[in-house]
Structure 1
Amino acid sequence: MLRRLIAAAALLAAALTAAPAAAAGGPLRDLAEARGIYLGTAVTGDRLTGGYADVAADQFGSLTPGNEMKWDAVEPTRGSHDWSRADRVVAFAEAHGQRVRGHTLVWHNQLPGWLTGGTWTADQLRTLMTDHVTAEAGRYKGRVDHWDVVNEPLAEDGTLRRSVFGATLGESYIADAFRAARAADPTAKLYLNDYSIEAVGAKSDGMYDLVKRLLAQGVPVDGVGFQAHLILGQVPASLEANLRRFADLGVDVAITELDVRTTLPATAEKLDRQKADYASVVRACLAVTRCAGVTVWGFTDSDSWIPDFFPGQGAATLYDEDLYPKPAYDGIAGALAPVTPPAPGVCSVTYAVTQQWAGGYTAQATLRNTGTAPLDGWTVRWSQPAGQRVTQAWNTALTQSGTEVTASHLPYNATLPPGGSAAFGLNGTWSGTNPPPTSLICTSGT
């Protein structure tokens, strides 16, 4: 509490215009870019001033308009468009070298009253929908990097949601919306986006099958967005594997609306757990080659949707209400930290997970003498990037202290001729994600 009071006083003294705290390696957006992904946030357009604007511009490489691009916002009266609020967010992003993630073209919520209150035939509704997609995607042609073309198309059991579009048009409305978006903006990445599909289960299976069907029809689905509105301590163990199976279909994947809510008050212990949860999600994205990036759904608790929808819960974002970064900020920064290359030497080592199951895995490492003289003893050290624990090892003397692991030779494999190799293996446990070590350091000698 004292730290928050001090931070609030400092912010007040600076009229909420002081530069936000940054990670030791630079702003989050730069750390993410260096790792090959983007780190984005949803924003409220009319708050893009003062300290709020400073954080949004400095820390994030992508902006998502939280509400400004939804149908009721841009076409409150049939045939009459108001682009002012959406334009403001897009212009802000362009002024600060940021991408824009368009959200959303077709959704069953936040529709204008003239649409929901009307009586339409299937053909009329289809035309209204495709005209809307064409108008909005066309207005921002070349200025929006990704579009959530269809948002939340599935029910909890993985079947088609009986929305105004699903009930009247069936699944075909999804294909029509994507084709209209591609025609209006051929360069934007086009996404399906939904919640509760982060873990392998009925709903994610339904999305997986839907994407396969759409791709088989030639529908231009470029990616799948996983909203990831998570509860403290409940990052799905299958998240990384789930992202990977979608990527294996040939589409990109992204975490699009990440927040981690907790029951209030937010204690130090809860915030530390939240830090680990945010880091775990970012690591899952980094571990999947086709994961394009991570977007947090608002960066400050003062702009979070959680308290309004989940009474008694909150503290779900990276910054507190006074724009002071919380431990979750450090969790993301740590997950995005630059990978340290192995130190040069006379040996090298490779590591691969050879088998994985819920909560457990088997890995094998192979050490090779890259020098011109025999090795007389060797040691391999690494850090477990997601806190995995080694439970068994063979062909090595292995110890673990916290996240640090040390594996050394045994008498029968200590000596390696030039070009020779030695392999050792291990079993371990994991929770959340199971990425491989980012750096394995091999040293020679006893």
Structure 2
Amino acid sequence: MLPPRPSQPLLALVFALALLVALVVPPAQAAEPTLGELAAAKGRYFGSATDNPELTDAPYVAILGSEFNSITPGNSMKWDATEPQRGQFSFARGDEVVALAQRNSQRVRGHTLVWHSQLPGWVSNGGFPATELRSILQNHVTTVATHFKGKLAHWDVVNEPFNEDGTFRDSVFYRTLGQSYIADALRAARAADPAAKLYINDYNTDGLGAKSDGMYNLVKSLKAQGVPIDGVGFQGHLALQYGFPYKMQENLRRFADLGVDVAITELDIRMNLPADATKLATQATWYSDVTKACLAVSRCVGITIWDYTDKYSWIPSVFPGEGAALPYDENLRPKPAYNALRTALGGTPGDPGPTAACAVAYKVESQWNAGFTAAVTVTNRGTTPINGWRLTFAFPGDQKVTQGWNAGWSQTGRDVTAANASWNGTLAAGASASIGFNASYTGTNAAPATFALNGTACRAS
């Protein structure tokens, strides 16, 4: 027996309700592509350097893991980290970075096997004869490259071999072995990890000039000798006060014409502090121009910024009075340079955060002389339930949580964690949890800029 047919008035009502839902409920919005995704669409990667101490900063790690499709360990694969004592190797810190990249489906650029700096004293002051030093170098390269075999896309095999005038730097390796140490290192790396692309990397070679001529002549010579070399890294440590590199695109192209890949490997663009709107606008233009130069050369395979945030920049400690060099500020907020990079890569300006799978609303409900009360609403904007959540953020100032509710609250330095209570740990798709806290503060009481839920960056409002 067939069920009774609905009456015409009922059908009309159902149709009207369906039409109303279609008008009121907006369609799901596709996520804005990240810098890594925009670069990948053009056959490149867009990466960031990182360092192990930073990996305890959950909001930082959330952006690092979602915005970039390549990472470079800043220090954990250098000689002093991997072989601090002769024949005693340590890979734990490098392994940590590789594991992070694997979890986020990111490539890794290995940095660096042979460098005159950050050498343990037993190498730099060992006084070894040529035969022994060559054996030490080859053993180090072989052991480290073998350990990471199959896990790295690129290796900066030799780092910064040149003086500013294009002559070879007077390192312990050059002084004892001559320039042949470069070929020795490249051959050892190729034998240890045949799949990794092998690079020589240096700074102030970004434009045409004496130093880049020295690099060009070296690469040309190595190619003629049949020495394995796959790429040249142009670090890109630029400064507004010194001008943009001379004919950068032309310089990249001449190296590519030698039959090697080229990459921007350590990009940052510093300025004399304080930063202002004019300097930040110029910086944004430079980031765009570097990106366009790379995109114009078919063998320019990618760009890496030397960490993505001013919070962890090396610049202020090395160049006093200078800084603000990166596309994100100290509070992990995008700067004009970020939007310039998106536009140069073919995207549209804007922070992809609004399309994240979670949202956090932060509101100061009351404030007095030395304290305040804040309400925080955590929303699951994804399509599947979240079973067990952990919200992390960092205060920008001297705020300290003194009491919290509806979550387990803890704080270390500026970093705050709120873990679900036993009764609100499941967030269905579209569901929210309301939590809050009292806190003390001194100075200003600015709101946190970024939030992460279970390590994933959330939209903040």
Compute the TM-score of the two structures, normalised by the length of structure 1. Answer: 0.70
Match of 1:300 in 2: 309
Instruction: Specify which of 247, 253, 266 is matched with residue 262 of structure 2.
Output: 253
Distance 1:78 1:249 in 2: 37
- Segment of structure 1 superposing worse, 115-124 or 188-197: 115-124
1:271-420 → structure 2 map (5 Å cutoff): 271-337=280-346
**1:36 correspondence with 2:43:** yes
**C-alpha offsets along residues 191-228 of structure 1, whole Å, 9 cap, x if unaligned?**
01001111111111111000000000100010000001
Distance 1:190 1:271 in 2: 35
Distance 1:163 1:182 in 2: 23
- Segment of structure 1 superposing worse, 143-152 or 116-125: 116-125
1:106–1:150 CA contact under 8 A, matched in 2: yes
Amino acid at match of 1:275: A
**C-alpha offsets along residues 275-313 of structure 1, whole Å, 9 cap, x if unaligned?**
111010000000000001000001111111100111100
Aligned length: 317
**1:236 correspondence with 2:245:** yes
Instruction: Specify which of 55, 58, 69 is matched with residue 61 of structure 1.
Output: 69
Q: Which consecutive unaligned segments of at least 5 residues does structure 1 have?
A: 1-22, 340-446
1:114-129 → structure 2 map (5 Å cutoff): 114-129=122-137
Q: CA deviation at 1:44?
A: 1.1
Q: CA deviation at 1:338?
A: 5.2
1:191–1:225 CA contact under 8 A, matched in 2: yes
Match of 1:197 in 2: 205
**1:131 correspondence with 2:123:** no
Partner SS, residue 269 of structure 1: helix
Distance 1:81 1:189 in 2: 23
Distance 1:25 1:334 in 2: 12
1:252–1:291 CA contact under 8 A, matched in 2: yes
Amino acid at match of 1:92: L
Q: CA deviation at 1:232?
A: 1.7
2:113–2:141 CA contact under 8 A, matched in 1: yes
Q: CA deviation at 1:26?
A: 1.3
**1:161 correspondence with 2:169:** yes
Q: Which consecutive unaligned segments of at least 5 residues does structure 2 have?
A: 1-29, 349-461
Q: CA deviation at 1:48?
A: 1.7
Distance 1:48 1:73 in 2: 17
Partner SS, residue 48 of structure 1: helix
Give RMSD over aligned pairs. Answer: 1.3
1:264–1:314 CA contact under 8 A, matched in 2: yes
Amino acid at match of 1:168: T
Distance 1:116 1:210 in 2: 24
Distance 2:171 2:127 in 1: 14
1:42–1:295 CA contact under 8 A, matched in 2: yes
Q: CA deviation at 1:25?
A: 3.8
Runs of 4 or more, structure 1, over 6 Å off, are none
1:228–1:258 CA contact under 8 A, matched in 2: yes
**1:98 correspondence with 2:142:** no
Match of 1:81 in 2: 89
**1:146 correspondence with 2:154:** yes
Compute the TM-score of the two structures, normalised by the length of structure 2. Answer: 0.68
Partner SS, residue 266 of structure 2: strand
Instruction: Specify which of 195, 208, 223 is matched with residue 215 of structure 1.
Output: 223
Larger Cα-atom Rg: 2
